[in-house]
A and B are shown apart, each in its own frame.
Chain A
């Protein structure tokens, strides 16, 4: 779908200024507690979706993107809080730079911009499973097998297939008319 080449995080969560070069490869982030590992994950989710699910999910109380997204020293100036990523879209063979600011989280700047690129970015934005935090991963691990299957299906939107399967089965069960063959 997309490969992330690099990320530049400014005044975001607990991070003042950080650039990471991923080179489009898989990467792991490790470090002691409180060093900003989750901030990198949040930044990645934010720039791609405009949201930080850890601030809006279950048990997050009064946390908000606007107030708790910027670095604590930049809360009065959220304009400084921004995330920039350079990505490659293999299917289009194009590199794209994306930027999103906490002062306007719904607006993503893409350069270059085209209909094809916008289509890919919309797809990414519509898939929250691109970023799974530890809490969500643990929930899947601890879920009973039946429940886990349901949750994975919902995560990948596979429940749509099940809805159609069930509906077609009900139609088949109640229908006495043969389906016309050519």
Chain B
């Protein structure tokens, strides 16, 4: 998986924090599926609301 905004000098602080968060999850060996969903919500779709995050963490069936 690659980030859509690779240049750190063009990223704002939240994006950098969320990227680091994703990297830390990967390093902690959290499941790839969960990391992918969170990556999509936080860094691709920029959906920062509880509903979207709940679905990302727990899966679509918990929407």
For B26, give the chain A residue with the smallest CB separation. A182
Cβ of A161: which chain B residues have Cβ within 8 Å of it?
Answer: 13-14, 17-18
- The B4-42 residues at the A interface (CB cut-off 8 A) are 7, 9-14, 17-18, 29-34, 42
- The A79-133 residues at the B interface (CB cut-off 8 A) are 90-91, 119-120, 123, 126-127
Give the shortest distance, in Å, between A2 (CB) and chain B (any CB).
Answer: 9
Interface size of A in residues (CB-CB distance below 8 Å): 25
Given A91-B10, A161-B17, A171-B58: A179 in contact with B30 (beta carbons within 8 A):
yes
Contact, CB under 8 Å: A167 / B13: no
Bound together, the chains give a CA A181 to CA B29 distance in angstroms of: 6
Cβ of B18: which chain A residues have Cβ within 8 Å of it?
Answer: 161, 164
Taking residues whose C-beta sits less than 8 angstroms from the other chain, chain B's interface range is: 20 to 34
Given A160-B48, A167-B48, A167-B49: A119 in contact with B54 (beta carbons within 8 A):
no
Bound together, the chains give a CA A180 to CA B9 distance in angstroms of: 34
Given A91-B9, A157-B12: A182 in contact with B57 (beta carbons within 8 A):
no
B50 at the A/B interface (Cβ < 8 Å)? yes
Cβ of A120: which chain B residues have Cβ within 8 Å of it?
Answer: 9-10
Contact, CB under 8 Å: A182 / B49: no
Contact, CB under 8 Å: A177 / B9: no
A143 at the A/B interface (Cβ < 8 Å)? no
Contact, CB under 8 Å: A179 / B57: yes
Contact, CB under 8 Å: B53 / A168: yes
Bound together, the chains give a CA A177 to CA B54 distance in angstroms of: 12
Interface string of B43-57 (1 = CB under 8 A from A): 000001110011001
A142 at the A/B interface (Cβ < 8 Å)? no
User: Which one of B10, B13, B31, B42 contacts A164 once the chains associate, using CB atoms below 8 Å?
Assistant: B42
Q: A1-B10, A167-B49, A171-B53 are in contact. List 9 more A-B contacts (CB 8 A).
A: A123-B10, A157-B14, A158-B14, A163-B49, A164-B18, A167-B54, A179-B34, A180-B31, A181-B30
